[in-house]
Structure 1
Amino acid sequence: MLVVVGILVFFVGLLLSIAWHELGHLMWAKLFGIKVTQYMVGFGRTIWSRKKGETEYGIKAIPFGGYIRMIGMFPPKKDEEYGRTAASTPFRLMIEDARQAVAEEVRPEDAHRQFYQRSPWKRMLVMFGGPFMNLVLAVAIFTASLMGFGVSTPTTTVGKVSECVLPASAGNVAQCPPDAPRTPAAEAGFQPGDRIVAFGGRPYSSWAELQRAIRDSSGVVPVEVERGDQRLTLTPNLIENEMPKLDDADEMVKVGFLGLSPTSVMVKQDLAGVVGTMGNMLSMTVQKVIELPQRVPDLVSAIFGGEREDDSPIGVVGASRIGGEVLSYDQFSVESRIVMMFNLLAGVNLSLFVLNMLPILPLDGGHIAGAAWESIRRRFARLIRRPDPGPFDTAKLMPLAYGVSLVFIAYSLLVLVADIVNPVTIF
């Protein structure tokens, strides 16, 4: 039941994120006097709608996006273009069909309220308004989570002592094999709750530093621990073991091995910590978006029974399923599960911001790039005293936009199938 509730709650959160995105476009469009005829969450057949003023607000059947419809997205064709003999080519017909469809929405009384008529900086704000709303929501959620709840931070207190030595490639096992040797930590008598004060005669206050010291050591090393009111010195004999590299979990290396894991505590972050964390997350999200094309073979492999990577691209279905998994994971407190769900939703919004800022049509970044190019072109024309070249004609890029749309649809379907037959799990 909790899985179903989690899926539904997270799905509603995704829909609200989409609506929030489109609200950013709507707000700036109306502020600049552009006529908006529709504000829709979803695509396809309309399930519910209500008209308020000149705008129809509604929900559609396919909940994988949303849009607002503004009149006059493309400028009219220039006079010198009417006599071109190339008007019958497939691309030219595609461009003219798109231009005609946009022109048919413009009534005579609204001729002055078209999108293309606004100055480039206004059009850029209209198109940036949507992704910016996703960024605002992501920052707000992460800030509240990091400053109010904190970040799970490992300490120098022992949380678990491994009983036997196994290579990391062996994965998680319920019981140690009969022939597996005991870990140095188990042999030396470490216990959960021991706080490591010093390692090799040097004091340590952070797990990150202590972990590096353990990995760089071998042989007998004195370890000073606090156990209750006592201070003890244990003498484990560290060995080499195969472990993931700290800065690259996909690469395995031979390092010093003790055989224990730390406890973690929630540490609330200050504003500087929030800024640093958000910067790292934004950088990681940009990297993952850039890597999307090279993930296609992995997704195809996952559909046909291959391993699905933990950081594999996911869609609405996959994200909602993870939301259900989080809410039903009873080894965390209810508070922790709720915070995790909000953080997942914030991560999705951060991804939506980065993805929509790509400078290609039909994404918002493509329209922003077109308006920016128009501004540069007009400024340059004034600089060299040439006639104003007029608005940038994005209609001429419609064949490219249709091609990109088909690629996105195909990729989305690929992710959808992978999310159904071989979903990503986080626990």
Structure 2
Amino acid sequence: MGIFVALLVLSFLIFFHELGHFLAARLFGVRVDVFSIGFGKKIFTKQIGQTEWSISAIPLGGYVKMKGQDDSDPTAVNYDSDSYTRKRPWQRIIILLAGPFANFFVAFMLYFGASQIGTYLSPLFNYSHYLPATVGSFSDESPAKKAGIEQGDRIVSINSTPINNWEDVGETIQLFDGVLYFDIIRDNRQLNIGVEPIIKKQKNRFGESVDRKLIGIAPDAPDELTFSPMEGLAFAWNETIHASTLIFTSVQKLISGDVPANQLGGVVTIVDITAKASQSGIIALLFFTALISVNLGVLNLLPIPALDGGHIGFNLYEMITGKTASEEVMYRLTLVGWGLLLSLMLLGLYNDINRLLG
């Protein structure tokens, strides 16, 4: 059942990505010949107007085939008035951006939906930003506890830096060396307490080993966070931006080599984790689906010729120079792009198999 839900989630996200392209294309009068969810043998087709809507046997992708635009053959252009080729570069860019935008919008709505149901504390979202800076518990041998900080103390500043939430506490501790001076509120009294952090090596969210200053405290956190509709909109916006930044940074670290290539997951990992998330409850599934949606949006914006980002680059070139990129150059770069994508997919599959084998 979990795998079925995972495939359904992927198809859902792919549908909205391609729907973004479709709606933008039709807005500018571009004919759409095919709207397909999946690849391979078609198991369902229906002609609606000029567009053939289809579902194919392999539900791990999809595409919108516009008149005058073919990723498999960039030289197959068409100059009719309802062709993608005839549209101005800025119109084509909007059509290309519409797919990733749809993924970001879906993620935003999923985060908003989760906020209205009630979100439990999870590493899938940046919950520390929404918690008050009130001390809830201590670790063993906590430097903060030894220095005199007590449960229930509200931290208002560290080394004169104002603290508004628990995220500020963690970030500010890393900014200073030596003793940290905490201004706290306890029983309506303000106290100043000096705490000397310890330094330990820890793994960050990218798997890198880093030195972190620790004082051994945890927040006074409820089991569940609830938001009003207006707070939910702000929450959804912040989490969409946070997830996008996280994925951009992950890609950057993979390219630079800071994160090893064996950390790259493929479709098997995505299906596996989505299936597990679906078994953990609706909130976990909403958060992970939103994260995948942002992932699709970000990855499609990468400047690889076979992706939306690569096509946007070609159109920006045309806008700046006033010249259409050479068909031969576009063809060769697109082949390189497909080769790169195929290599990444095979690497992800190889890593997935290694994980499955332990």
TM bucket, shorter chain? 0.7 to 0.9
Q: Does 1:346 align with 2:290?
A: yes
Query: How far 1:62 moved relative to its partner?
Result: 2.7
Number of the residue aligned with 1:252: 211
Distance apart, 1:420 and its partner CA: 3.6
The answer to whether the Cα contact below 8 Å between 1:370 and 1:394 also exists between their aligned partners in 2 is: no
Measured after TM superposition, the shift of residue 393 of structure 1 is 4.4
- Letter of the 2:25 partner, please give it: A
Query: Within the alignment, does 1:116 sit opposite 2:59 as a pair?
Result: no
Instruction: Check the 8 A contact 2:134/2:155 in 1, yes or no.
Output: no
Matching residue of 2:273: 322
The equivalent position to 2:252 in structure 1, one of 290, 298, 305, is 290
Structure 1 residue 141, shift from structure 2 partner: 2.0
Q: What is the match of residue 50 of structure 1?
A: 46
**Structure 2: runs of 5+ lacking an equivalent:** 120-125
Describe the shift of the 1:48–1:296 C-alpha distance in structure 2 as closer, same or farther (beyond 3 A).
Answer: farther
Match of 2:329 among 386, 396, 410: 396
Pair 1:147–1:375, CA change in 2 (3 A): same
Aligned to 1:359: 303
Would you say 1:412 and 2:345 are equivalent positions? Answer: yes
Deviation at 1:135, TM superposition (A): 1.8
The one-letter code of the counterpart of 1:419 is: D
Aligned AA (1:242): K
Q: What displacement does 1:67 show? A: 0.9
Letter paired with 2:310: G
The one-letter code of the counterpart of 2:347 is L
Distance 2:173 2:85 in 1: 62
Q: Deviations over 1:226-268 (max 9, x none)?
A: 8xxxx9x9x9x98846364999973124x564x5533423263
| 1:298-326 deviation digits (Å, cap 9, x = unpaired) | 334xxxxxxxxxxx433332122222323
Corresponding residue for 1:142?
111
| Equivalent residue in structure 1 for 2:29, among 10, 30, 33 | 33
> 2-side partners of 1:251 and 1:419: how far apart?
26
Letter in 1 for 2:247: T
Q: Which has the larger radius of gyration?
A: 1
- The alpha-carbon distance between structure 1 residues 394 and 358, as it changes in their structure 2 partners (threshold 3 A), is farther
Letter in 1 for 2:261: L
Instruction: List alignment gaps of at least 5 residues for structure 1.
Output: 75-94, 166-182, 301-311, 330-336, 379-388
Q: Secondary structure at the residue paired with 1:113?
A: coil
RMSD over aligned CA atoms reads 4.4
Query: Offset at 1:281?
Result: 3.2
Deviation for aligned residue 1:419: 2.5
Match of 1:128 among 90, 97, 100: 97
Separation in structure 1 between the aligned mates of residue 268 and residue 146 of structure 2, nearest angstrom: 47
Q: Secondary structure at the match of 2:68?
A: coil
Tell me if the contact between 2:108 and 2:236 (Cα under 8 Å) persists in the aligned partners. Answer: no
For residue 119 of structure 1, report the CA deviation from its aligned partner: 2.3
Q: For residues 195 and 131 of structure 1, what CA distance do their matches in structure 2 show?
A: 44
Please list the CA deviations of residues 399-422 of structure 1 after superposition, one character each: whole Å capped at 9, or x if unmatched. 111111111111112112322432
Q: Matched residues, percent identical?
A: 26
Q: Is the 8 A contact 2:264 2:351 kept in 1?
A: no
Q: Equivalents in 2 of 1:98, 1:209: separation in Å?
A: 49
Aligned AA for 2:24?
W
Q: Take 2:137 and 2:275, find their aligned partners in 1: how far apart are those partners?
A: 28
Inter-CA distance 35–156: structure 2 relative to 1 (3 Å threshold): closer
One-letter amino acid matched to 1:196: D
What per-residue deviation string (whole Å, max 9, x for no partner) do you get for residues 334-360 of structure 1? Answer: xxx322221221122212222212233
Equivalent runs, 1:296-335 vs 2, <5 Å: 298-300=260-262, 312-329=263-280
CA shift in 2, pair 1:275/1:210, >3 Å: closer
Q: How many residues align?
A: 332
Is 1:281 the counterpart of 2:243 in the alignment? yes
> Deviation at 1:38?
1.4
Q: Deviations over 1:30-50 (max 9, x none)?
A: 333333221111222223222
Residue 195 of structure 1 aligns with which residue? 152
Instruction: Tell me the distance in 1 between the aligned counterparts of 2:286 and 2:351.
Output: 24
